[in-house]
A and B are shown apart, each in its own frame.
Chain A
Amino acid sequence: MKKIFLSMAALIAVACTATAQKFYTKNGNISFFSKTNMENIKADNNQVMSVLNAQSGELQFSLLVKSFHFQKALMEEHFNENYLESEKYPKATFKGSITDAGKVNFKADGTYPVTVSGDLTIHGVTNKATTKGNIIVKGGKITGNSVFVVALADYKIAIPKLVEANISKTIEITVNCLYDQKM
């Protein structure tokens, strides 16, 4: 009898540790920044969803384009209506993995530089993307961050001639996600 309970406990424990390898968030932050001589444009999205699988290194992001907020109301309207066309393409996603996830010890505090690679979909256009980032483990909490640049032309986001001076052709994107553990 005792043996059976023991094996049962062991099996359940195994099952639990297997699921504990996943981290997720529903309120990660992604912001972008466009810098030109005419004006700087910045927008924030604090409702980014992300899943990180510590075991396999799989990493995914998903966000609603409408959740980017600007300081100027009209910029936000034009961003949704004219540039990102959020009615037609409501989501932006990334599906990929940390290629060197083996370097990260999710149980020991530290900052681990990693490389992330996968498919980035914005404005209905999917491109391969690779970037450097950091996994920060601190007191059992996992944070992921990265800064990278995308070219608007790669995602078929057209800038009319009239406002060419106001909008940068390349946009700096900053990712900062604090993950919860999946039970």
Chain B
Amino acid sequence: MLERKIIGLLILCIGVTVSSRAQQADTTDLMAQLEKESDSKNATNYTTATFKTTRLVNGHTVENVGKGVLDVKISHRFGTLNKGGYELFGLDNATMRLGFDYGITRYLMVGIGRSTFQKTFDGLIKIKLLRQSSGKRNMPITLSYVGTAALMSLKWADTSRKNYFSSRLSYTHQLIIGRKFSDGTSLQLMPTYIHRNLAVLATDPNDLYAIGIGGRQKLTKRLSFNFEYYYQVPKYRIEGTTNPLSVGFDIETGGHVFQLHFTNTTGMTEKNFITGTTGKWEKGDVLFGFNISRVFTLGKGR
């Protein structure tokens, strides 16, 4: 009886040792285990570079500039192509915007700009509310808010009436819902609300609504094709305006992004290009334009 017990114990003991030996992972197994612990299910993988820069053509993308980064933007829009050879297909006329965007944090960006179009000053604030991610924290979209204020500083045409300073101002609130579908393909929707303190005609609404759609398709690592379209809601638009449609290319070279595009709008602030476009693609009111973005890292970064 005792002998049996002893033998039983011995077998058990050997069994334990053998199994512990089997569990004793070799180097590769141990590495596999470490990798598994830190893999996608246990870590959050945030999507980056949904777009190359903070602007698609005229309007914003879901992107922010990094913390402590100053992005200097110089944008030009030339005259329409249908002006013909005499005006060198629009190149004789140019309007421009000079802009400075700065990243206070990774998700908060502010900017100022000045456009020659209607001598407009503008200020903006952009907040990244949600970040697309996969893994432990799964978020299918990136959500950004953009608020801008524009100040039209042209001299009043009619000086005989009382002109208020507040009449020069207009405001834009925009949500941008973006998703990077694959390494090369990103799309976004931009519901937009614009308020003008002064409507030019009594029949024009002060509150205007539009919804934008935009996207990019990368053609090579450093070149992408972009498009941007804003649809104005019929009852909340200014009579005689058209919807802005723009197509273009982003060319990225180190610290610069060059954006070359064709569009039917001259304005480069939201109020002007979303609700103030009069050009028609089918009539050839298409103009060439470019944005140059150059970033400078001022702060310490992350």
Which residues of A come within 8 Å of B, CB atoms?
1, 4, 7-8, 11-12, 14-15, 18-19, 22, 24, 26, 47, 49, 51, 53, 56, 58-60, 62, 64, 66, 69-74, 77-78, 80-82, 87-88, 95, 160, 162-163, 166, 182
| Interface size class of chain B, counting residues whose CB lies under 8 Å from the partner chain | 35 or more
CB <8 Å contact, B17 and A14: yes
CB <8 Å contact, A26 and B34: yes
**Contact of A74 with B295 at beta-carbon distance under 8 Å, contacts A14-B17, A15-B24 already known:** yes
Of the candidates A24, A56, A72, A81, the one whose C-beta lies within 8 Å of that of B34 is: A24
B27 close to chain A: CB less than 8 A:
yes
Q: Which residue of A lies closest to B254 (CB)?
A: A163
B221 close to chain A: CB less than 8 A:
yes
CB <8 Å contact, B222 and A160: yes
**Contact of A12 with B17 at beta-carbon distance under 8 Å, contacts A18-B24, A60-B31, A88-B183 already known:** yes
Of the candidates B35, B297, B301, the one whose C-beta lies within 8 Å of that of A62 is: B35
Besides A4-B13, A51-B34, A95-B28, 7 more A-B contacts (Cβ < 8 Å) are A18-B21, A24-B34, A49-B35, A62-B34, A69-B302, A72-B69, A73-B65
CB <8 Å contact, A60 and B21: no
Q: How far is it, in angstroms, between the C-alpha of A59 and the C-alpha of B28 when the chains are bound?
A: 9
Q: Which residue of B lies closest to A22 (CB)?
A: B30
CB <8 Å contact, B222 and A82: yes
CB <8 Å contact, A49 and B13: no
Q: Which residues of B lie under 8 Å from residue A4 when comparing CB positions? A: 6, 9-10, 13
Q: How far is it, in angstroms, between the C-alpha of A62 and the C-alpha of B14 when the chains are bound?
A: 35
Q: How far is it, in angstroms, between the C-alpha of A19 and the C-alpha of B118 when the chains are bound?
A: 76
Minimum CB–CB distance from B45 to chain A (whole Å) comes to: 7
Q: Which residues of A lie under 8 Å from residue B66 when comparing CB positions? A: 72-74
Minimum CB–CB distance from A79 to chain B (whole Å) comes to: 10
Proximity string of chain B (42-74) to chain A, C-beta cutoff 8 Å, 1 when within and 0 when not: 000100110000000000000001110100000
B84 close to chain A: CB less than 8 A:
no
**Contact of A49 with B221 at beta-carbon distance under 8 Å, contacts A14-B17, A71-B297 already known:** no
Which residues of B come within 8 Å of A, CB atoms?
6, 9-10, 13-14, 16-17, 20-21, 24, 26-28, 30-31, 34-35, 37-38, 45, 48-49, 65-67, 69, 103, 106, 183, 221-222, 252-255, 295, 297, 300-302
Minimum CB–CB distance from B182 to chain A (whole Å) comes to: 9
**Contact of A71 with B300 at beta-carbon distance under 8 Å, contacts A14-B17, A22-B30, A80-B49 already known:** yes
List 18 contacting pairs A-B, 8 Å CB cutoff, sorted by A: A4-B6, A4-B9, A4-B10, A15-B20, A19-B24, A22-B27, A26-B34, A51-B30, A51-B31, A53-B27, A56-B27, A58-B26, A59-B27, A70-B301, A71-B300, A74-B295, A74-B297, A80-B48
In the complex, number of A-B residue pairs with CB atoms less than 8 Å apart: 102
CB <8 Å contact, A26 and B38: yes
Q: How far is it, in angstroms, between the C-alpha of A69 and the C-alpha of B46 when the chains are bound?
A: 14
Q: Which residue of A lies closest to B67 (CB)?
A: A73
Minimum CB–CB distance from B38 to chain A (whole Å) comes to: 6
Q: How far is it, in angstroms, between the C-alpha of A78 and the C-alpha of B254 when the chains are bound?
A: 8
Of the candidates B38, B48, B300, B301, the one whose C-beta lies within 8 Å of that of A49 is: B38
Q: How far is it, in angstroms, between the C-alpha of A128 and the C-alpha of B20 when the chains are bound?
A: 34
Q: Which residues of A lie under 8 Å from residue B221 when comparing CB positions? A: 81-82
Q: Which residue of B lies closest to A163 (CB)?
A: B254
**Contact of A11 with B253 at beta-carbon distance under 8 Å, contacts A18-B24, A51-B31 already known:** no
Of the candidates A7, A87, A163, A182, the one whose C-beta lies within 8 Å of that of B30 is: A182
Q: Which residues of B lie under 8 Å from residue A19 when comparing CB positions? A: 20, 24
Minimum CB–CB distance from B183 to chain A (whole Å) comes to: 5
Of the candidates B9, B48, B295, the one whose C-beta lies within 8 Å of that of A8 is: B9
